[in-house]
Structure 1
Amino acid sequence: MSATESRPTTETAEGPATPATSQATKETLEDYTLRYAPRSYRRWTPMVVATTALGGIAYMADFSIGAGIGLAHGTGNALVAIAVAAVVIFVTGFPLAYYGARYNIDLDLITRGSGFGYYGSVLTSVIFASFTFIFFALEGSIMAQGLRLGLGLPLWIGYLVSTLMVIPLVIYGMKALSKLQVWTTPVWLVLMVGPLVYLIATDPGTVDRFLSYAGTDGDGGVNTASVLLGAGVCLSLIAQIGEQIDYLRFMPPKTEANKGRWWTAVVMAGPGWVVLGALKQAIGVFLAVYILASVGPSVAPEPIQQFKGAFDAMLPSWLVVPLAVVLVVISQIKINVTNAYSGSLAWTNSFTRLTGRYPGRMVFVLVNLGFALALMEADMFSFLNGILGFYSNCAIAWVVTVATDIGVNKYLLKLSPLAPEFRRGMLYAVNPVGVVSFVAASGLSIAMYFHAFGDTLQPYSPVAAAVIAFALTPLTAVATRGRYYLRRTDDGIPEPLLDADGNPSGTVYDCHVCHQAYERPDVTACATHDAVVCSLCLSTDRVGDHVLPVSGELLA
């Protein structure tokens, strides 16, 4: 299936439409919002999925983040900080990406069964939703700066334009996003890499100036406090793995025939996104140092100014600003359709679980954009590093907790069920393993970040978030003996969840509530009818009529 095709046209994927089909069911079947993504829908090749996922990291924020760290702490500290953060993000992102691609579920569904419970993961859904609107606001601010430079638009109008223009693109989910990302990625790569190559080739002295830059508060050497402060800002991007998984969940089943391509795509588009991200941050430092003398430290972190300065060295003057604006606009659109899309999934998922109502994903597209616009109008770009440094503590605590549960509790201690579970009735409402670890790690690290334990320890808050989450997750699992992972071990359907190759089963069952057909992992037996019910109908069952009771053996 090519990137321009959508879903299979046979009725086996979702069944024929009936008068009883709810609007919620119809909308979630567009790209399986809140659901397991069935193999009948996943017809993209591994490389198409990977290209689509990587297209979403074309954001310009990395240039600003790198520039901010480099200008403050110097090139040496910035490069070490970027490298440290990249290693942490890669290591923690690997198990999450594997689970998303192997079992075809998003990060929220992974989190539910990896230590948090059915309602406990609402905490992390809000954290992830916050990530999407914070970075939407950051990218929107960068685009508004470009529109001001290129078209003379006031910033507040630029903020509004950058917000409204993504709405038509994000409505249709994976189908539209795959086309957009595949078509625009080559243009984006040429515009980003070309100026850097030209500057290094024609003026080697730029490299020496870049490497020797000491920063406004540095002495030219590398020191632990500066590295950790910089790494804390970079680690705010650790939650980006959630957006990568929103694409990776559409990977085809892993087989003997495709396992090489499958693993390449998962590593490249999963934790591998941080390799390109780290390179962009380093380029941001390079370009900021290059233009510093001509524009000053207050403007040097702006990507539009960085690329204007770079293009100015290699292109006719009449082409410089238009090309810089084109690069910024393409980058902003590529990432902000992903931010709007992923944020709407996170908000919708949380709301549906807590209220039993599905208001429609578009409602939360608008909610997410509203939060982002408010941040832009509040001029978040001027206090960017402070926001990201604070947010990174929450994001690190969440991702490290889930990654540790998968890597340690599932595979080493075998206290957490190996196959992920996300369906209501199968999970306890709250699992202390993830919730306690996350709350303790994020709470203590945030207190440390705000100098509660003194100025000396303040730079170590991201380290504290990671270490506490990594230690408490297995300790809590051992203390509770894994008691609160599964409310039931039997979902009432005799067929196994996984096929002989370890992939989720493709057998189709009819939900007796919405009268649609779903594959095996998305259904359970109904508590009150001799039939099966799908995961969304379970989520919206406000009286619990269809929810299976707790297993007898678990009550003993």
Structure 2
Amino acid sequence: MDTGLDTGLHPEADTAPAAPRTGRPDADQAAKETLEDYTLRFAPRSYRRWTPMVVATTALGGIAYLADFSIGAGIGLAHGTGNALAAILVAAVVIFVTGFPLAYYGARYNIDLDLITRGSGFGYYGSVLTSVIFASFTFIFFATEGSIMAQGLRLGLGLPLWLGYLVSTLLVIPLVVYGMKALSKLQVWTTPVWLLLMVGPLVYLVATDPGTVRHFLAYPGTSGDGGLNPASVLLGAGVCLSLIAQIGEQIDYLRFMPPKTPENRRTWWTAVIMAGPGWVVLGALKQAAGIFLAVYALAEVAPAAAAEPIQQFKGAFEAMLPPWLVLPLAVVLVVISQIKINVTNAYSGSLAWTNSVTRVTRRYPGRMVFVLANLGIALILMEADMFSFLSAVLGFYSNCAIAWIVTVATDIMVNKYLLKLSPHAPEFRRGMLYAVNPVGVVAFTAASGLSIAMYFHALGDTLQPYSPVAAALLAFVLTPLMAVATKGRYYLRRTDDGIAEPPLDADGNPSAATYACHVCRQEFERPDVAACRAHDAVICSLCLSTDRTGAHVLPAAPRSA
């Protein structure tokens, strides 16, 4: 679930020691690739030297994508402005509430969403299912953003769409492989320009032509009379809720937060809320702006084209700029936005696949295999014109994403803090967790399965719009019910990792004490190691993941009578 990007937060990455040869190629390769970005494990305190607000600012820079404009436009054009704004608000509230505990756990314990999911009801192998869902999120949204970029290249440079799809895909590969540091600088340098190009036209239109606001608010949509309709609101909310998995990419940055102390408590919480669930505030505003620009663009283009961000901003720029400057600026805005987000999507997806395959096969295949695989899937979706049925794809996908995120959030809020059946501190190491925990797996499977059936009209046309509600409610109810039914016995395979020193310090932060892994000979901090079953030494979580025989994995604790 990690972006793996050098975000500008890691000045000492260049001096990270090379992993020594251990005789185990998988362990060597995994250690070498993760020393810099900590993609498959805990982010150590020695690496986290930045203030909370620096982390938050960098995290918020990763949501420059323009898909929000298309999503908002699609909902608004179909259901009308009133229903669309209500749908956006409903989805934003759900995303904020569920994102808060996940962001807190990521920042507090310095782990990504996959590691949180393992210890929050799914188990060591059970969370592979949700890693695949997140990987799907990345290639679906890569295809969405790539389609938007191809539309810009067609309008600005005359490239046919099929070639634009190919260019938008191939352009990302060298950046993913070699350009992480260059990309982080690009994000910082281009953010002021991006904000000016995005916000400027909106401010100009509202200030110079107030009638555009009245027209926007009164727009009835193609499928209604302009009045509020619960079915339309929920259908629109389902599309918006497909973005609920974005919290995973926000946590990729939040895991680099410094320890929370009495001195930085206020700024720490502010940063976590801003960069965690707070991303949805900006996302909702962009969706609403997408409706506004689409309604404005309808005077010049067909409804299908009005949902394209390049057409939206072209129409807005035409109202305020000389003709020769309109297309270049619109294309610059689209291309910059899409490159910034799609490198993140490509890298993040490759890591989600790598994480899953490493656990299942206990081999580290190298992420470049999955970079190409993820991009290949995205290119196929683009060439199949996924953009034309984007709302349908996102509406289906949102059922799975909602069920997953709500299950994990409920486990943290209810099972950990209220029922106290789930361990308070997250656990992610092999040997410490059961392979599968029925609490999260059953709740997620039931919630997503029933909601998908509803989405495809299996339970009738009347219930179809309520599939996102069903996914959220079932996940929220079943997660604590399963914890009570199983008495919480399937969370921890054992509670003692064989090391006397506690994993948390006196302030509740992960301990900074270091231990040398006897397999890869690297130094790791206390939360990232466990005692070795076969040797009087410790082993890191990475080497445990690639232990094919299980000889180093601690045995299960005996069951109490």
State the TM-score, normalized to the length of structure 1.
0.97
Q: Classify 1:103/1:136 alpha carbon distance in 2 versus 1 (closer, same or farther; 3 Å).
A: same
Distance 1:171 1:493 in 2: 38
Q: Distance in 1 between matches of 2:185 and 2:103?
A: 22
SS at match of 1:419: coil
Select 1:292's aligned residue among 298, 315, 319: 298
Which residue is equivalent to 1:358? 364
> Is the alpha carbon distance of 1:446 and 1:17 closer, same or farther for their aligned partners in structure 2, counting shifts above 3 Å?
closer
The unaligned stretches of length 5 or more in structure 2 are 1-5
Give yes or no for the alignment of 1:269 onto 2:240: no
Distance 1:212 1:390 in 2: 29
Of 187, 192, 197, 1:186 maps to 192
Alignment of 1:15-94 (within 5 A): 17-20=19-22, 22-94=28-100
1:325 aligns to 2:331 (yes or no): yes
In structure 2, the partner of 1:493 is 499
1:192–1:327 contact (8 Å) kept in structure 2: yes
Residues 19 and 28, structure 2, Cα contact 8 Å, conserved in 1:
no
Question: Deviation per CA, 1:180-217, whole angstroms, max 9, x where unpaired?
Answer: 33222221111110000000000000000000000001
Aligned pairs (5 A) from 1:353-392: 353-392=359-398
Q: 1:180 to 1:458 in 2, by over 3 A?
A: same
Q: 2:407 aligns with which of 397, 401, 405?
A: 401
> Which residues in structure 2 correspond to 1:157-556 (within 5 Å)?
157-171=163-177, 175=181, 178-552=184-558, 554=559, 556=561
Alpha-carbon shift at residue 45 of structure 1 (Å): 2.3
Aligned-partner Cα distance in 2 for 1:3–1:98: 20
For residues 560 and 65 of structure 2, the distance between their equivalents in structure 1, rounded to whole angstroms, comes to: 50
Q: CA deviation at 1:18?
A: 2.7
Kept in 2, the 8 Å contact 1:3–1:44? The answer is no
Q: Which amino acid aligns with 1:356?
A: R
Distance 1:307 1:130 in 2: 29
Measured against aligned partners, the alpha-carbon deviations of 1:5-49 in whole angstroms (never above 9, x if no partner) come to 6343798xx666433271221111121111101011112322222
2:138, 2:345 within 8 Å by CA — same for their partners in 1? yes
- Matching residue of 1:126: 132
Give the 3 Å change call, closer, same or farther, for CA 543–3 of structure 1 in structure 2. Answer: closer
Aligned-pair CA distance for 1:161: 1.4
Q: In structure 2, what is the equivalent of residue 6 of structure 1?
A: 10
- Partner secondary structure for residue 299 of structure 2: helix
> Does structure 1 retain, via aligned residues, the 8 Å contact 2:408–2:440?
yes
Per the alignment, residue 106 of structure 2 pairs with: 100
Measured in 1, the distance between the counterparts of 2:437 and 2:274 equals 32
2: CA distance between counterparts of 1:19 and 1:49? 33
In structure 1, C-alpha distance between the alignment counterparts of 2:100 and 2:177, rounded to whole Å: 29
Residue range with higher mean Cα deviation, 163-172 or 40-49: 163-172
| Corresponding residue of 1:110 | 116
Q: 2:148 & 2:218 partners in 1: Cα distance? A: 28
Deviations 1:64-107 (A, max 9, x none): 00000000000000000000000000000000000001111110
Instruction: Report the Cα offset of residue 173 of structure 1.
Output: 8.7
Counterparts of 1:5 and 1:108, CA distance in 2: 21
SS in 1 for 2:310: helix
Counterpart of 2:3? Answer: none
Q: TM-score, normalised by structure 2?
A: 0.96
Shift of 1:174: 6.9
Taking a change above 3 Å as real, the CA distance of residues 527 and 198 of structure 1, as seen in their structure-2 partners, is same
From the superposition, tell whether residues 285 and 9 of structure 1 become closer, same or farther in structure 2 (CA, over 3 Å).
closer
**1:396-423 per-position Cα deviation (integer Å, ceiling 9, x unaligned):** 0000000000000000000000000000
* Structure 2 residue identity aligned to 1:443: G
- Indicate the RMSD between aligned Cα atoms, in angstroms: 1.6
Aligned pairs, number: 552
Distance 1:115 1:161 in 2: 41
Cα offset for 1:258? 1.6
2:122 maps to amino acid: F
CA distance in 2, matches of 1:39, 1:349: 22
CA distance in 1, matches of 2:534, 2:261: 38
CA distance in 1, matches of 2:109, 2:456: 39
Give the AA of the match of 1:311. F
Whether contact under 8 Å (1:148, 1:154) holds in the other structure is yes
What CA distance in whole angstroms lies between the structure 2 residues aligned with 1:35 and 1:180? 27
Q: In 2 relative to 1, CA 81–4 (structure 1 residues): closer, same or farther, beyond 3 Å?
A: closer
> Greater CA deviation, 20-29 or 154-163?
20-29
Query: One-letter code of the match for 1:90?
Result: F
Distance 1:439 1:9 in 2: 40
Distance 1:370 1:331 in 2: 21
Q: CA 1:426/1:175 → structure 2, altered by over 3 Å: closer, same or farther?
A: farther
Tell whether the 8 Å contact from 2:19 to 2:520 is kept in structure 1 after alignment.
no
CA apart distance, 1:177: 5.1
Aligned 8 A contact 1:210 1:286 in 2:
yes
For residues 236-288 of structure 1, the C-alpha deviation after alignment (integer angstroms, 9 at most, x for no partner) is 00001011111111111111222222111111110000000000000000000
Identity of counterpart residues, as a percentage?
83
Deviation sequence 1:329-368 (CA, Å, 0-9, x none): 1110121121112212211110000000011122212211
The residue type equivalent to 2:172 in the other structure is V
SS at the partner of 2:498? coil
Residues 10 and 70 of structure 1, relative CA distance in 2, 3 Å threshold? closer
Output one character per residue of 1:129-152: Cα deviation in whole Å (capped at 9) or x when no partner. Answer: 000100010000000000011111
Which residue identity does 1:329 align to in structure 2?
A: V
3-state DSSP of counterpart to 1:509: strand
CA contact (8 A) 1:102 1:253 kept: yes
* Kept after mapping to 1: 8 A contact 2:406/2:476: yes
Query: Structure 1 residues 319, 394: CA separation in 2 closer, same or farther (over 3 Å shift)?
Result: same
Cα distance 1:154–1:506, how it changes in 2: closer, same or farther (>3 A)?
same
CA contact (8 A) 1:170 1:176 kept: no
Answer whether contact 2:431 2:554 (CA < 8 A) is retained.
yes
